[in-house]
Each structure stands twice: as C-alpha cells, then as structure tokens.
Structure 1
Amino acid sequence: MTMQSSGTVGVKRVFIGAGCNRIVNNVSWGASGFVSFGAHNAVAIFCPKSANILTTLPGHKAVVNCTHWLPSSKFLFKAKQLEQHYLLSGDADGAIILWELSLIDGKWREVLQVPKLHKKGVTCISGIMLSQTEALFASTSSDGTICLWELVFPLTRNGDCKLSLLDSFSIGSKSMVTLSMAELPGTGGQIVLATGGLDNKIHLYCGGRTGKLVHACELKGHTDWIRSLDFSLPISINGDANNIFLVSSSQDKCIRIWKMALRSSITTGKGIYKKEEISLLSYIEGPVLVAGSSSFQISLESLLIGHEDWVYSVQWQPPLVDSVERDAYYQPQSILSASMDKTMMIWQPENNSGVWMNVVTVGELSHCALGFYGGHWSPSGDSILAHGYGGSFHLWKNVINDNWLPQKVPSGHFASVTDVAWAKSGDYIMSVSHDQTARIYAPWKVEASLKKGEFWHEIARPQVHGHDINCMAVVHGKGNHRFVSGADEKVARVFEAPLSFLKTLNNASLQKNCSSDDVLTDVQILGANMSALGLSQKPIYVHAVHEAPLRGVADGLDTLETIPDAVPTVFSEPPIEDQLAWNTLWPETHKLYGHGNELFSLCCDHRGELVASSCKAQSPTVAEVWLWQVGSWKSVGRLQSHSLTVTQMEFSHDDNFLLTVSRDRQFSVFTITRTGTDEISYSLLARQEGHKRIIWSCSWNPHSHEFATGSRDKMVKIWAIEKESSVRPLLTLPQFSSSVTALSWIGLQDRRNNGLLAIGMENGQIELWRLSYNRADDGSILAPGLAATLAVRVDPFICHASTVNRLAWRKNDEDHMSMQLASCGADNCTRVFDVTVE
C-alpha cells in the first residue's frame, strides 16, 4: 500500500469516513457487489457487507457528479466470469474517467480519461453490456449535448481498453438530466436511448450498434422535470419476450410505466418500408417507435401515485435466476422508487388484476425535512439503498418475507472536514466540518467468537449546529470527555459527554477502560436536545427521561419550539443515521465570548488546564489569541503578536510554550508560566517571519523544544528554541510539490533523537519524514545537528483527493513501533492510518 524510499516505515488504511455528494445520479451499485459514490472530487467505493469504505480514487479536479458501473447490477448475469469490472465517473468540469477493478486482488487503476467533449458538468452516465467484453455508454451534460461511446474491454488483465465515439449531438437549450439505454428485443441489435429533463418530455432515440442515433419520438404526460428513467430487460408476456418497459419519474410526484411492444415487421420482402402499415389507429393508441426494420407500439401501462414529494429515482429490480433453467434469467416486474418525501417504495403488479401496487414502503423519520436523492437495488435484489440530503446512506435488507430491516452503512461528513483530534484516551477520533456537524468515530471491537479485528464506525454526533464549524479541541486532563468547538460565529462552545455516550463507548471497546464506574455515577446528564434554531444543545437529565416526549404549544411554549425531544440511547451496536442525527447529541455547558470575528483555530494544553482560541482577523487587535481556563472558563490572557488571522496554534509538550502561526507569514512563541494560585503569566519570546507565504501549520517535537512550520510557499522548516530566549533555524526540507497545509510530529521509541513528521499537502498527498538529531550530552544540538529523510510517500489511493486540513498522531504509550495517524481534508473524508516502524 505504500511507496517507500527507506523501507522501514509502512502505512496502511484503517478507516475512511465520508459522506455522499448531494447530487441525484451520484451513486451506483455494481455487479461486483460494491457501491460507488462521489465524495467531493474523489470517487469512494464501499462494501455493503462490511459497511466500510474500501478506498477513494483520486483523479478528478472538480466535484464528482455521477458514477456508473459496467457491468451494473442489471447485467450481473453477464458478469459471472469477469475478473475485471469497470467504473465510469463524471465531474462538474465535464471530465469522465474510466477505472478498472481487479476482483482477484481488489486493486484499482485509472484506465483512461474519456476525451473531453462536454463543455459543462456531466449530469448522467448510463451504459449497457452488449457482451462480456463490449459495452455502450452515453453521457449527458448541462451544456445540452449527449455523447454515445463504445467500449471494448481487454481479455487479459492490464490490457488496453478500446474507446470509440459513436455519436455526439445537441438536444437544444433545455438540458437533460437523466438517461437510460436498452437493446431492443427482436431487432437484431437496435439500440434505444431515452432521455429526459427540463422540458417535461421523454425523448427516444434509435439507431444501430455502430450508427448514428435518430430522434424517434417523444413521450408526453409528466407535468414537471423528468428526474429518472430506467429500461427493463425484455419481459415475457404470453410466452413472448418481445416487450420492453420504460419507467419514468418526475418532480410532479408521479411515476409512469411505458410499455413498448414489438409489432409485426413493417418491411416488404425486398426490404423496402411499407409506411402505410403504421395506421392512424396505432398513433391514437400511443406513439410508434420505428427501429430499423421493426416498429414498437408505445402505450402508457400504468400511472403510479403514492409519493408526496418529487420522485428523484426509479429503478427496475435486477434480473433473477430462473428456477427451472439455472442458466436463464428473467426480469422481475418490480420497481424501486425514491423520493424527497424521505421514503422508498417497491411497486409490483397484482397477480390477478395486473394493477401496479405499492407493496413495500421504507423510510426515515427525522427532523431533517429533505429526503432521498436516489434508490438502488443490490445485484441479488434482497437489499435496497438510498442516499439522502444529509450526505447519508440508508440500507434495508429483506430478512424474510418482505420484512425489510435497516442495516449498518458507512457515514461521514458531506462538506470539507476542517479539524480532527484524538480523544484524550485514544479510544476515538472526533472531526468537525463545514457541514455543521461534529462526529465521533471509534473502532467497534467485535467478539473474537464472531469475527476477529475491529471495524470503525460513527458512534455519535455530539454537535449539530446552525453554522459551519471551523475548528475544535479535545480537552485533556482528568475528568469527563470534553471538547471546545469554534464555528462561523464569534462564540466558542464547550461540550461534555453525557452518560449515554460513555456507556456506548464502553460497549464499543469491549473493555471498560474508557470510563471508570466513578465517572459514570458522577454524570447526571443522559443526553441533549436540539433547540429550534439549531444553535444550542440543552441537557436532558437522568431523572427527567420519563417526561413528555414532545415539547409544544401545550406546554405554553412558542410554536417554533415544537420539535420532538431526543431519546438518548445506549447503543450495543453501531447506530444508524437516524439515531446519530438525533439521539447522540452532547449537552453544551459553556459559551466563550470575546472574539470579534468568526472562530478559526483552537488548541488545548496537555494538562487540560488552558484552551487557546483565535479568529479571522485583518488587524492586530482582532488577531489576538485568547487564553481560557478550563473549568471556570474565564478569560485569563490575550496574546498580541500577529496582524492577520492566526491559522494554527499548539502548546509544547511540557506546556511551557505556545506556538502560533499566521497569515502574516510570521510565527510567534509565547512563554506560559503558571503560578500556584491558578493564575498564569505570559510573554512573547520570539516573533519571526518564517516563510514567504501564509504559514498554514505547525507542530512541536514531543521530546524537546524544536518545532516545524509549513507554508503555502511549499516549504517545511524546523526551528529550535535556544536557551529559552531566542529561536534559530535548524533545517529546511526540500521544496514540496504543493502547498504544505498540515503537520504533525511524533517521537519514536522514547528516544529524544528520533521522530516522524507527517506532512499533508494541498494536493491531498501525505508524506512521512524521519528526523534524527546529533545531540551533545547536555541535550544541545551539535552541528550539522539534524538529518531529515523521506520515510514513506503514502499511496495516492489511500490519501486524500484534495487539501489535507489537519493531521493528528494518536498518543501511544505502549507500542512505539505501531502508531495511528488521523487526517481530514477538503475531500469530505476523515481517515485513520496504521503506521509501523520496522
């Protein structure tokens, strides 16, 4: 998994948390059994069986709008012998990339970039398999064009794919947002392409496998935008499999099923069309689709009404194995629909009357009013997956006889993740994001009798806020779990873990080391409630849990406050989205007022006594760093040094110094002196222009008074405090390929002369550098003093696909040969890596 230069450090992926882009055609469930989705500009792959994200594919420069597997779950019957599966992804710049997955070893590679014909974002990709090695796919864009491509897959691994453009045409000013393709039955290879969009009509195009597509007819009936289209495979009626069905959904809340029935051939013996055979009567019945030498009578089979909001997605159930002929497959008459009313429905015709009915309804009851962007069948048809407005997935499995139960799914932020930190105990990581949430991920250790190992899951969402969250700091020291967060407001907020979380954490770790029984008995708060405006979280006390579950007008409160109470829950298995969003909040205990602008950076000292905060600033007075005393939460200091925003701060590991770096290209070191009366004094030890551009990040050597700074000038510099009075430069690392945006330094093997510096960059790359010192007996550094070597450049397929915002090593006192590194980035991902030193 790594590209190594020294061979002594290994890095492997442990966990990826990511939310789904909130775009309609973003998700695809392939015949491989894996689900693909866009996470900002990365393509993420997750395995529904393990509920883990396996990898992210870097390559797109813009937000990923759509993904499509070849073969998709519809063509599972053609994929039985395939060792390679392929994935298409399209982005907001009009680029389309083809990826190859080897099922044998799980390795991915970028096969090719499709020639960029679209001038604007790709909105939909749809493809069909003609044979095991041939596929056709079409793409459409908001620039009003459709492109049709042929793909020939190689017979051997790592062979070349052949891509050829069959057709490209404009569809006018009203752009199309959905596509579906099918091979017409009984026509010897004629292709039909259905497209729909902003003009409320379904347009059908026909053509041969290699020829141009011709506009054949329009289907009218929907009264709002067409959002989704899907062709069935040929369906047998009266023993004749010459019928194909098209299902369409729209923002008019309706679903329409269109039947396309093959009529008798309309050619004479000499191959000349006899147009008069298409009678006027047939046009009264519905449009006629002429495809080569055949024609299809189109009629409206059914109109399905049941959803209460826009229907964003419809999909036929994938084909099933014929119970009589084992090698044969048949198309079930079953349709899955997903809507903004936060429900998915399965529709099937009644056996006797043939009337289509809603037979299954699943959904989420949540305070979030907006619902599902898409619904997808598993290849076997026993599971259904939705992706929603909150970037979340929702999975149901048919356990027995249409008893659909929710299943675990991966989760994560759906906007840039701005900060990440380890718990003081190292049991979990916490991240905050511009999606206005804070999330906690932990390894859920499963019993050895069931499975070996541990699987990471989101176990709590302690803060759901009304503003984008920019920074957070875990409070160290004794006592309960606490953290401070700063958002696009002038207030920092302090949160404390409730009893329900502490008990859930005990269940997750299987060993009762994260909270003693004393702490559990001391905590009187069970959970927290969200206020109506989403800004403050009120505590729910242990003795108050049996009160009425709804606050409202009956209680004499304002009607704005009519929101359901949370039900704080102790989980014995990882919670699902609905539980996370509502029942795992932490109560807010304090607000810290003082800053003049939006909060930008926070840090806590290692004793858990002081928290430092900074905000966005354009002047020296606003750029002050405030110090807060943990416990009383009083302001105990205002440090002036910088003239622009302080971008990051960190206390030295003995807590004697506070290092700050800023947009003004300078770093400052403050001495912090504590007196016995809980008072502190501070003074500016040094201020220096360290780089030629913004300094984004800093990190202290855990064993001494050296620190690193990283900047937009693509440089990392190491500095040392000389005799507690001045700062001198020690070393400048070779220039990097991209801006340095994150740093984190860890000591190795308890030796003061060895360490690993993790470096994160704007292009998403992460590198680990080994730093070793030549020290005298008194601890001072001898010239040349410091050597830096690249230990490992982490594989791009497990790195971020966009800016690395923060890196954090787990404090590991037991095993210095095996460590864990957490990272977060602008690609919406939170990651954990295992780092081993041989």
Structure 2
Amino acid sequence: MASNGVGMQSRVERVFIGAGCNRIVNNVSWGACDLVSFGAQNAVAIFCPKTAQIITTLPGHKAYVNCTHWLPSNKFAFKAKNLERHYLLSGDADGAIFLWEFSLVDKKWRNVLQVPEPHKKGVTCISAIIVSHSDAMFVSTSSDGAVNVWEVILPSSSGGECKLSCLDSIFVGRKPMVTLSLVELPGNYGHLALAMGGLDNKIHIYIGERRGKFARACELKGHTDWIRSLDFSFPIYASNETSSLLLVSSSQDKGIRIWKMVLHDSVSNDETSLASYIKGPIFSAGSFSYQISLESLLIGHEDWVYSVEWQPPQSLSVDGDQWYQPQSILSASMDKTMMIWQPEKTSGIWMNVVTVGELSHCALGFYGGHWSPNGDSILAHGYGGSFHLWRNVGIDFDDWKTQKVPSGHFAAVSDISWGRGGEYLLSVSHDQTTRIFSPWCNESSLEDREAWHEIARPQVHGHDINCVTIIKGKGNHRFVSGAEEKVARVFEAPLSFLKTLNHATLNKSGLADELPVNVQILGANMSALGLSQKPIYAQAASPESNERNNNEGLDTFETIPEAVPVELTEPPIEEQLSWHTLWPESHKLYGHGNELFSVCCDHEGKLVASSCKAQSASVAEIWLWLVGSWKSVGRLHSHSLTVTQLEFSHDNTFLLAVSRDRHFSVFAIKHSGQDEISHKLVIKQEAHKRIIWTCSWNPFGHEFATGSRDKTVKIWEVENESSVKLLTTLPTFKSSVTALSWLGIDRQKNSGLLAVGMESGLIELWSLYNTKIENKSSTVEPNASPFVRFDPFLCHVSAVHRLKWRKAKKSEEDSTSMELASCGDDHCVRIFQVDI
C-alpha cells in the first residue's frame, strides 16, 4: 500500500508479463520446483508450466542473460521434495553470475549474491550438482577460455547468507568450452568428474575432489564438429555389473554419442559387452580406475543437435533415498524437432521412439530441450524466442500433445495500443512482429484473475516495427503500424480474428453486436519477401486456381505454406500464431522520406498523424491521413529533428508533437469539410535541455505533460488556443524519462494519475490535482505529489518505451481498479492493476 499525500491509498499488482526467450543455447532451465527460468534481454524470467504464465522477472543483470541453472535442477527433483528454498544461477554476456533465492513458502525472490570474480567475457554454460541439503557445487565456462569451479554453502534458514568459495579455475586455451556436465563418481565418495566440450571437437574429462583441484583425465574423440551439449546420467545399476555412468554428447556434426564409464576391474567380467571391443581411455580417481568407451552412436537429426538431456531420475521412496535412472534421452536440434531415444528391450540398441516438432523451413529450429522433473513433459525453446511444450497424456501408450506456453517478443518492444474497448492489447517490436494479447475468460486458470495469452500475430514483417496505433471509432478493428521503411501500413481484422475474440472475451465487450456482417476476408497469407500480407477470402477459390498459386507444386524459395485461418476456441500455440492469425493489409501510406518513428490516431477514429526519423526540417514534417479514404490531408511543419511522439488532445482540437530538437509543438486541428482538414501551428517552444521522448494529454482538459532525457517532467497548459503556460515541473527523476501516460480520475476536481516510465525500467505514479485560489477564480494552482513507486521486481529492467492506461472499471464500492500497460527494451509487455 502507498499513500499519495491526499488520503488516497493504492495497491499495484502484476496482471501479465509477455516475453520471448533470448535466442541462445543453455538459456533455459527447468527446476525441481517445477518452474522454468530463462533470459529475456537483461532480465531473468520465471514461468509456471501449469498456468502458462510468466510469474516474475528478476532485475540485476546489466547485459543479456545467456544462461540460467536451477539449484536443484530437474535432475535432482527426487532429492528436493522437502526443500523450502530453491536457488537459481544466472550468467550474462558481461561475465557476471548471480545467485537468487526463491522461497516456496511466501513465493518471494531475493538476490543472494553476485559471484565476486566474474568472467572476462560472456558466460556460456553453468552446470551444478546438489551434494547435500546445504552444499552445492557449480561450474561456469566463458568465451574467455576459463572454467571456474565453485562451492556454495546454502543457508539453513530463510534470509541467511550463502557462502561461496572458488575451488579451481581451469584455463582451456583459445578454443573455449561451450558446454559442461558435473557428476559425483559412483562408489567413490568425494570424487567428481567434469566433462567439457567446445570448439575443438573433443570431450575433455577432468577429475577432482570435493574441495580440491581438478586434473585432466582423458579426451574423448569421435565428433567432427563443435560439441554443443553434454549430460551425465545418474549411476545405472545393472544386474551383472557394478554401477556405471553414461555420458551423452551432441554436436554440430548432427550426431549424438553415448559414452559408458565403468570401474576398470569390472570391464573384463563382461566379455561380450561393446566396451570390450572398443576400448576407451582409462583414468584414475583416488584409489579407483575407470574406463570410458563409446556405447552407442545415434543418428536421426538432420541439423545441428544443440542439446541432449537424460530423463530425470524418479524417486522410489518418499525421502528420495531410493531412485532409478530411466534409460531415456531427449535431444533438440536446429531441424526443428525433438527426439526421445531409448534402448530396445531385446537388443539394447538405442532407438528414436518419439519425435515431436516439424521438419519445416518456416523457422530455424530449437536451441534446447528440457524434461519436466517427473518426466511427463518436454519443453523446447526456438529461434523465434518461442517455447514449445509437449505432455505425455497417454496411459497405456505414449501420446504427446502440445500444451499452452507463455509467449512474447524476442527483441525490444517499441509501442503498444489498447483495443478500442480495451478488450485486448496490441504490441509491436523490433523482432518484426505485431502481437495481440487478451484475457481468455472461459479458461479455468489456477489463479483468481483472468489469464492473458497471445491470441493473434496480425503482422509478421521484414522490417523492425517502431510504432502502432489502433483506429478508434466504430467499424471493424483496424490499426496502422510504422516500421523501418518509409511506408505506413493499414491492417484490418479478418473474420477468423473477430470470432476468436468473441470466444476470448465471452462477448463481455459487446463485440457480438458489432460483428460486421460484410467481412468477407477470413485471414491473410504472407508474401514471399515477408512485406505485405494478402487476404484469404471466406469463399474458397477453386482447386485449379489454388494449384496455380502454388507454382504448380514446385518447391522453390519463393513458395510459402498456405495459411489456414480458423476460429480459435482456446489460446493458440506458436505454430498457429506464426502462420494462421495474420491480418490482411488494406492500405499503404506513402509520403515520408525516412523510416517511420511515431504514429497516433484521434479519439473519433477520423484522423491519423505520423512522423519519421529526420535530421532536417523538410523530412521532420508530420503527415495527416484521413481514415477510410487514407488520403493525405496535411503536412505539418515545425520541427528540425525526429518527432518522437504524437498525441491528440481528448477533444481532438489539438495535436501535440515532441521532438529530438528539445521543442514541443501544438497544432490546432479543425474538420472544415467532409474530407477537409485545416491546421495551424499554435505554438512551438523549447521545453527541455535534452531530447523530449514522450508526452501525454490530460483527459479532462488542455493540460499536457512532457518527459525528457534531462530527467524532468513538465506540466503545461494551452491558454486561449494561442499560447502555452508552464504550470509545474516535477522533482528531477533519477533516470531519463522515456514514457508518460495521464489518467483522469475526477473531472470535477480535475485530478488524475500520471504514469512515468524511465530509462532504468522503473515506473512511478504521480498524483496531479488542481485547487482554485480564492479571489482569483481564473487561477489554477497545480499540485503534484508522488503516488506510488512500483517495486523493481514488478518493473522493466531496461528502458520503458510506452505506457498506456486502460479505461477504469469499478471493482468494489469504494475502490476503482485501473490497468496500466507498459512495454520496453527488455522484450517485455507488462500489465499492472492499480487499485485506488
């Protein structure tokens, strides 16, 4: 709760986070607590597979998060049944490694420590083992050629200190390692084996003691390209031999190899084993000797195999003392498939028993695959920042079905816009996609509130998209987007989306009443170059014309799969989103001389204004477009550099523009005829000492706010349609102000909330209200006071690009609940609920 100084109380809650996964190997980890961690730009994001929702992001890293690893991971789930606290390691592109604590009791996170001696370059892999309830070890490798071994003593109580000590640092030379696996040697207490693989195509085995140094034991040769993934199994107890360890490796040579490590004395006892024919290297660990030999070579993938992982051991007892290691390996490849490999019961030959995914050219493949702790689900993360989850729902036989997962952008999110009735949120990003997020009302969520999901991807483009606006007013849903090209594009909702939205909102928005009866377009198809999207009509074309469209069946680089737009009755998965939820492009708006930068629509849906990147006054002009005919009806000249944001006043009489040239401009806009617009510059004024990034109008009047790189927010008022007066300047913020959004609360008191987003990712709400001074009825004294500062764990971890309020809804008798949407550089779209 927070007080704003005028007796108002507030509560801020997280409603939704949408984010994609950093496109890098080793980025994802599935923990024993059944949560999945991944890097989203500089944030560590945590999602719950059961609800398909991202539940939080962890701030702290100053660079891209390259890898995450749970303590305990899914591999140690059988030992972690009674743990109250789980830990998470995360490494970034600057070489920093953080340790986080997650309390299962109160669901709270805290940053426990940062590893004191960071790597000199980016961390590429972290591998860890749990030695006991209070003792863990982890190994990290980096592009700097170093492999560091650490011991962590975990605290016995919540909030206690973790003790960290560096056991060893191994320098591997100019060809760095990119994958690691650490294991305790069976029957040899206190001795560990460390497998490393990387750019020299060999697997290096090191042997060390629990608190001692590691020494090179042997090299395993066989792969002909980079080693991408290594994973030790838990000891496997066979009836005719003492326990053995299996190591699985995968490579860019498309092959997977299984290596068997056994006590040297036990090799001679089994003359018929494969190991007796293909003898591998022998090494010593303490008083024991081990031999490693190639057990099996698995061929099946058609591209680089980026990850291999043993199915986690399953517990046979409540306390985890008894367990067994399933003979099952999951592999994930750039051929966009995951495979499960198991030995055949009779011959023992390893076979591919399950294949999921698709061998297709529509996207590059998978960077990694992971088992759920109980082994009934498998998760892949792909090139498009996307997750793909399959669950085995079969009882007597395997039946792997796709499941819902969180989704989001995998690059900076540049702009957002609420649907006309606030029923969905539209976002655009430098990942070249436009996405629609909506609460799916008929879904039985495990939480009290509605569960938000991505329900459509209207635009998949060939350029980074910078700005978007929803066309307000009646009629079909439309939006205008501007990308790093000189053309603005207009999109109109197809019939398949309108029906899907009906399912998602359960007609709560009254959408059924306004379903246009004349929508003939069912969906859209992508063009070969990914620039324009062509309509698919509800009346299907004849088969003959379809054959002609498909280039008579020739498979060339210019052919793309046909989209199949359908009415969705549950939240779609990635494969549906990427192809089958496109909107047709209805118009292109030509005129600007450079890439589009900002676009906005008036509040009646009659006029759209747009601007582009500019370094001269002639290019920095603002264009006005008439909605419907899409004629250019005005070119407004005022600024000399890029206009960074445009916004119409709520009565549509003024257009406000702010620019890199540190000035703002206010234009008076009048509809003089049916298709005619008159405009004049009311005032242009230098307002800040640095770039003005953002602006927002008061919904109740002609006051507006401007925010700048000079860390200030200023409140202005348009007087008599001829001049502008500075009302107040808020106290200087700690970071550049990059986003503003003004919400009206009480028209009589002219009170409202101003949301302020900063380059640091933090968000604050300021209460703005006016009081009439006695004897001077015309004078208004503005008052501004801090209302609430969002918890950093709720906020973005890098620059906020846009903030947008959604219409208020009464939740209880005395309180009003508002929703604030934000987007930023950290690839995230966030929605907050603010109760006053």
TM-score of the two chains, using structure 2 as the length reference: 0.95
- Give the superposition deviation at 1:448: 7.3
Q: How does 1:427-506 map to 2 (within 5 A)?
A: 427-446=423-442, 453-506=449-502
Assess, with a 3 A threshold, how the Cα gap between structure 1 residues 112 and 409 changes in structure 2: closer, same or farther.
same
1:21-80: CA deviations, max 9, x gaps? 000000000001000000000000000000000000000000000000000010012211
1:201-350 residue pairs with structure 2 within 5 A? 201-238=202-239, 240-264=241-265, 285-322=279-316, 327-350=321-344
Greater Cα offset, 812-821 or 337-346:
812-821
- Deviation of 1:775 after TM superposition, in Å, equals 3.4
Pick aligned residue for 2:625 from 615, 628, 633? 628
Q: d(CA) in 2 for partners of 1:549 and 1:158?
A: 65
Aligned partner of 1:358 among 352, 357, 379: 352
> Contact 1:2–1:12 (CA<8 Å) still a contact in 2?
no
Cα gap change, 1:285/1:432 in structure 2, threshold over 3 Å: closer, same or farther? Answer: same
Is 1:736 equivalent to 2:736 in the alignment? no
User: In structure 2, do the counterparts of structure 1 residues 257 and 582 end up closer, same or farther at CA, with 3 Å as the change threshold?
Assistant: same
Q: Is the 8 A contact 1:417 1:432 kept in 2?
A: yes
Determine whether 1:827 maps to 2:826.
yes
Residues 712-768 of structure 1 deviation map (CA, whole Å, 9 limit, x = unaligned): 000000001112110010000000010000000000144342100000000000000
Secondary structure at the counterpart of residue 812 of structure 1:
strand
- Partner amino acid for 1:135? A
Cα deviation, 1:619-643, whole Å, max 9, x if unaligned, reads: 0000000000000000000000000
Cα offsets for 1:451-474 (capped at 9, x unmatched): 854100000000000000000011
Q: CA deviation at 1:283?
A: 11
Cα distance in structure 2, aligned partners of 1:381 and 1:101: 23
699-708 or 558-567, which deviates more: 558-567
Q: Which residue of 1 aligns with 2:657?
A: 660
Look up the match of 2:151. 150
Q: Contact conserved, 2:523 with 2:535, CA < 8 A, in 1?
A: yes
Instruction: Report whether the alignment pairs 1:690 with 2:666.
Output: no
Contact 1:552 1:559 in 2 (8 A): no
Q: Give 1:519 deviation, angstroms.
A: 2.8
Q: Which residue of 2 aligns with 1:806?
A: 802
Q: CA deviation at 1:117?
A: 3.3
Give, in whole Å, the separation in 1 of the partners of 2:779 and 2:355. 72
User: Does the CA contact (< 8 Å) of 2:475 and 2:516 recur in 1?
Assistant: no
Measure how far apart 1:291 and its partner are: 1.0
When residues 64 and 2 of structure 1 are mapped into structure 2, their CA distance, relative to the original with a 3 A threshold, is farther
Distance 1:140 1:554 in 2: 49
Q: Secondary structure at the match of 2:75?
A: helix
Q: CA contact under 8 A between 2:69 and 2:89: conserved in structure 1?
A: yes
C-alpha separation between the residues in 2 aligned to 1:66 and 1:779? 63
Task: Give, in whole Å, the separation in 2 of the partners of 1:227 and 1:757.
Answer: 49
Q: Which residue of 1 aligns with 2:131?
A: 130
Q: Secondary structure at the match of 1:521?
A: coil
SS at match of 1:580: helix
One-letter amino acid matched to 1:653:
H
Does structure 2 retain, via aligned residues, the 8 Å contact 1:769–1:792? yes
Matched, 1:381 2:375: yes
Q: Secondary structure at the match of 1:76?
A: helix
766 and 30 in structure 1: CA distance in 2 versus 1, 3 angstrom threshold: same
Letter in structure 1 aligned against 2:492: E
1:662–1:695 contact (8 Å) kept in structure 2: yes
| Deviation sequence 1:240-280 (CA, Å, 0-9, x none) | 452001000000000000000012499xxxxxxxxxxxxxx
Q: Distance in 1 between matches of 2:356 and 2:276?
A: 40
User: In the alignment, residue 501 of structure 1 is paired with which amino acid?
Assistant: F
Kept in 1: contact 2:137–2:150 (CA 8 A) = yes
Corresponding residue for residue 714 of structure 1 = 711
Change (3 A) 1:802 1:685: same
Cα 1:85–1:518, aligned 2, differ >3 Å: closer, same or farther? closer
Residue pair 1:3, 1:793 contacting (<8 A) in 2 also: no
- 1:597–1:448 CA distance, 2 compared to 1 (3 A): closer
- After superposition, residues 574-613 of structure 1 pair within 5 angstroms as 574-613=571-610
Work out the number of aligned pairs and report it. Answer: 822
Q: Distance in 2 between matches of 1:16 and 1:696?
A: 24
The match for 1:56 is 57
**Distance verdict in 2 for CA 1:487–1:780, change over 3 Å:** farther
The code of the aligned residue for 1:583 comes to H
Once residues 778 and 660 of structure 1 are traced to their aligned partners in structure 2, the CA distance between those partners, rounded to angstroms, is 35
* Identical-pair percentage: 69
- Residue 270 of structure 2 corresponds to none
Using the alignment, how far apart are the partners of 1:761 and 1:447 within structure 2? 35
SS of residue paired to 2:517:
helix
Measured at CA, do residues 702 and 204 of structure 1 come closer, stay the same or move farther in structure 2, by a change above 3 Å? Answer: same
Q: In the alignment, what sits opposite 2:522?
A: 526
Q: Secondary structure at the match of 1:667?
A: strand
2: CA distance between counterparts of 1:298 and 1:555?
A: 54
1:811 Cα offset (Å): 2.5
SS at match of 2:539: helix
Opposite residue 663 of structure 2, the aligned amino acid is: Q
Distance 2:146 2:612 in 1: 46
TM-superposed CA distance for 1:814, in Å, is: 5.9
Matched residue of 1:501: which SS?
Answer: helix
Aligned to 1:269: none
Moved more, 450-459 or 733-742: 450-459
Tell whether 2:763 aligns with 1:766: yes
Contact 1:4 1:791 in 2 (8 A): yes
The one-letter code matched in structure 2 to 1:699 is S
In 1, distance between residues paired with 2:360 and 2:695? Answer: 41
| Long gaps (5+) in structure 2 | 268-274
CA spacing shift, 1:326–1:205, aligned 2, 3 Å: closer
Aligned with 2:393: secondary structure? strand
How far, CA to CA, are the matches of 2:3 and 2:224 in structure 1?
55
Q: Which range moves more in the overlay, 619-628 or 509-518?
A: 509-518
Secondary structure in structure 2 of the residue aligned to 1:130: strand
C-alpha contact (below 8 Å) 2:252/2:305 kept by paired residues? yes
Using the TM superposition, give the Cα deviation of residue 3 of structure 1 relative to its aligned residue in structure 2, in angstroms: 9.7
Q: Which amino acid aligns with 1:395?
A: L
Structure 2 partner of 1:616? 613
Is the Cα contact below 8 Å between 2:716 and 2:728 reproduced in 1?
yes
**Could you tell me how far apart the structure 1 residues matched to 2:26 and 2:718 are?**
55
Where 1:523 maps in the other structure, the secondary structure is coil
Equivalent residue, structure 2, for 1:650: 647
Q: Kindly indicate whether the alpha-carbon contact (under 8 Å) linking 1:317 and 1:332 is maintained by their aligned counterparts in 2.
A: yes
Deviations 1:565-621 (A, max 9, x none): 100011000000000000000000000000000000000000000000000000000
SS in 1 for 2:188: coil
| Aligned residues of 2:3 and 2:10 also touching (Cα < 8 A) | no
Measured against aligned partners, the alpha-carbon deviations of 1:655-707 in whole angstroms (never above 9, x if no partner) come to 00000000000000000011243311000001111000000000000000000
* CA displacement at 1:546 relative to structure 2: 6.9
CA distance in 2, matches of 1:299, 1:54: 44
- Please tell me the residue identity of whatever aligns with 1:524: Q
Equivalents in 2 of 1:424, 1:519: separation in Å? 14
Unmatched 5+ residue regions in structure 1? 267-280
Q: In structure 2, how many angstroms separate the alpha carbons of the residues matched to 1:283 and 1:174?
A: 32
Give the whole-Å Cα distance in 1 for the aligned partners of 2:615 and 2:348.
70
